[in-house]
């Protein structure tokens, strides 16, 4: 941005930045309008006016990509996000503990954990806290807290750098699964050596977003793979067709009676989920409450996560 940007920023009000932030996060004027409770033409107009005040282009706009932040937009995002955090923190402090939770939280998660575990848990959390809304980003790639793609993230690996607060959320296990029908039609598996006679479903190795996902190659060298996908949910549904075996998280596979674990005491992988948040957000009430709730739900479901139970448990939000 130009040198006089700081002077221009001082002339802005919070309402200007609210419009900018919602468009930056949703990348669509229509989606931002829905969140703000206004018409999408109002959002587009306010963005144009903000760009005129600052004398820069904040978004590249296209039909396919929507509103994509420019380099100047990325720099403003950092300032606007800081202002939003300060405003909300002050609001929470003055509102006092007598008021219920409110506000919006965006949670990033691995795909399988988000869809099979977090979604039912968060549905109960939002039902109990009607003034809160949550975006659950269950995707087969990393969610970046530094780029403000989410307020909180559940990841396979611990954050190595950056201004984050983090904790180990839980351990979980993966085992090798096939359907009952599969084992009726294929050679029995009595030892690890017998697995050489079977086909497997695995990740696309060069597109795996974390080396933590490549457990088949490390656990069963030279395994014969006949189907690869970047999605663990695709692995799950492909396994249910009864044509091959796959490593699946126990919390996904154990509740389905059609799936049977293979050599569960010998072929097992233990991994961890990490919960993290940007440091400046951690003390916001809505972040703290959701953080504590997620830790409580993980604790209550140790048996499910470790493949010792097929029952999901719930805690009071």
Report the CATH number that the domain containing residue 179 is assigned in CATH: 3.40.190.10
Task: Quote the pLDDT of residue 265.
Answer: 92
Same domain flag for 155 and 287? yes
Task: Quote the pLDDT of residue 44.
Answer: 87
Question: Residues with Cβ < 8 Å from 183, sequence gap 6 or more?
Answer: 189, 260
Question: Domain for residue 184, yes or no?
Answer: yes
Comparing CA positions, the residue from 227, 253, 244 lying closest to residue 308 is 253
Same domain flag for 283 and 149? yes
Which range among 17-26, 62-71, 140-149, 292-301 shows the weakest confidence by mean pLDDT?
A: 140-149
Residue 73 pLDDT > 60: yes
- Distance (Å, whole) CA 36 – CA 19: 8
Question: Domain for residue 223, yes or no?
Answer: yes
Same domain flag for 189 and 159? no
Residue 84 pLDDT > 80: no
Task: Quote the pLDDT of residue 263.
Answer: 95
Task: Quote the pLDDT of residue 61.
Answer: 85
Task: Give the pLDDT mean for 139-143.
Answer: 82
Same domain flag for 197 and 148? no
Q: Are 146 and 164 in contact (CB under 8 A)?
A: no
Same domain flag for 70 and 189? no
Task: Give the pLDDT mean for 76-105.
Answer: 70
Task: Give the pLDDT mean for 143-154.
Answer: 85
Comparing CA positions, the residue from 131, 265, 143, 249 lying closest to residue 192 is 265
Same domain flag for 159 and 134? yes
Task: Give the pLDDT mean for 85-105.
Answer: 67
pLDDT over 90, % of the chain? 52
Same domain flag for 177 and 257? yes
Q: What is the mean pLDDT of the chain?
A: 88
Band (1; pLDDT cuts 50, 70, 90)? very low
Which range among 73-87, 177-191, 223-237, 265-279 shows the weakest confidence by mean pLDDT?
A: 73-87
Q: What is the sign of the dihedral through the CA atoms of 105, 109, 114 and 115?
A: positive
Total number of domains in the chain: 3
Q: Domain ends where: 42, 70, 95? A: 95
147 versus 39: the higher-pLDDT residue is: 39
pLDDT over 70, % of the chain? 91
58 versus 141: the higher-pLDDT residue is: 58
Task: Give the pLDDT mean for 20-42.
Answer: 87
Task: Quote the pLDDT of residue 6.
Answer: 57
Which range among 94-98, 112-116, 180-184, 213-217 shows the weakest confidence by mean pLDDT?
A: 94-98
Residue 293 pLDDT > 70: yes
Same domain flag for 147 and 227? no
Q: What is the sign of the dihedral through the CA atoms of 302, 257, 261 and 122?
A: negative
Same domain flag for 293 and 154? yes
- Distance (Å, whole) CA 58 – CA 73: 4
Residue 304 pLDDT > 60: yes
252 versus 104: the higher-pLDDT residue is: 252
Question: Domain for residue 285, yes or no?
Answer: yes
Domain limits for position 115: 104-170+274-305
- Distance (Å, whole) CA 317 – CA 315: 6
Residue 125 pLDDT > 90: yes
Same domain flag for 226 and 141? no
Question: Domain for residue 313, yes or no?
Answer: no
Question: Domain for residue 142, yes or no?
Answer: yes
Task: Quote the pLDDT of residue 2.
Answer: 46
Residue 154 pLDDT > 60: yes
Question: Domain for residue 80, yes or no?
Answer: yes
Using DSSP, how many helices (H) and how many strands (E) does the chain show?
13, 11
CATH of the domain at 75: 1.10.10.10
Q: Domain ends where: 38, 65, 95? A: 95
To which residue do tokens 């998280």 refer?
A: 249
Tokens (6 digits) for 308: 């010792």
Q: Domain ends where: 52, 75, 95? A: 95
């Amino acid at each position: 941005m130009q040198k006089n940007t700081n002077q221009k920023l001082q002339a802005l009000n919070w309402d200007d930045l609210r419009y900018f932030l919602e468009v930056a996060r949703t990348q669509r004027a229509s989606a931002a309008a829905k969140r703000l409770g206004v018409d999408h033409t109002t959002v587009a107009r306010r963005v144009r006016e903000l760009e005129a005040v600052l004398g820069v282009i904040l978004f590249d706009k296209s039909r396919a990509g929507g509103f994509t932040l420019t380099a100047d937009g990325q720099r403003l995002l950092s300032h606007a996000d800081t202002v939003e955090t300060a405003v909300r923190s002050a609001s929470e402090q003055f509102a006092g503990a007598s008021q219920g939770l409110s506000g919006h939280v965006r949670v990033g998660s691995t795909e399988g954990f988000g869809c099979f575990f977090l979604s039912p848990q968060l549905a109960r959390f939002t039902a109990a806290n009607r003034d809160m809304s949550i975006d659950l980003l269950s995707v087969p790639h990393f969610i970046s807290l530094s780029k403000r793609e989410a307020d909180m993230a559940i990841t396979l690996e611990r954050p190595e750098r950056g201004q984050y607060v983090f904790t180990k959320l839980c351990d979980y296990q993966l085992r090798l699964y096939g359907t009952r029908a599969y084992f009726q039609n294929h050679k029995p598996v009595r030892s690890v050596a017998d697995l050489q006679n079977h086909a497997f479903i695995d990740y696309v190795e060069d597109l795996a977003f974390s080396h933590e996902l490549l457990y088949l190659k490390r656990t069963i060298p030279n395994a014969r793979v006949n189907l690869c996908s970047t999605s663990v949910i695709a692995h799950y549904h492909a396994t249910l067709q009864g044509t091959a075996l796959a490593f699946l998280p126990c919390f996904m596979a154990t509740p389905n009676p059609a799936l049977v674990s293979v050599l569960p005491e010998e072929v097992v992988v233990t991994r961890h989920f990490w919960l993290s948040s940007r440091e400046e957000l951690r003390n916001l009430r809505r972040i703290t409450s959701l953080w504590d709730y997620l830790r409580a739900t993980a604790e209550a479901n140790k048996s499910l996560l470790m493949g010792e139970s097929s029952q999901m448990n719930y805690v009071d939000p």
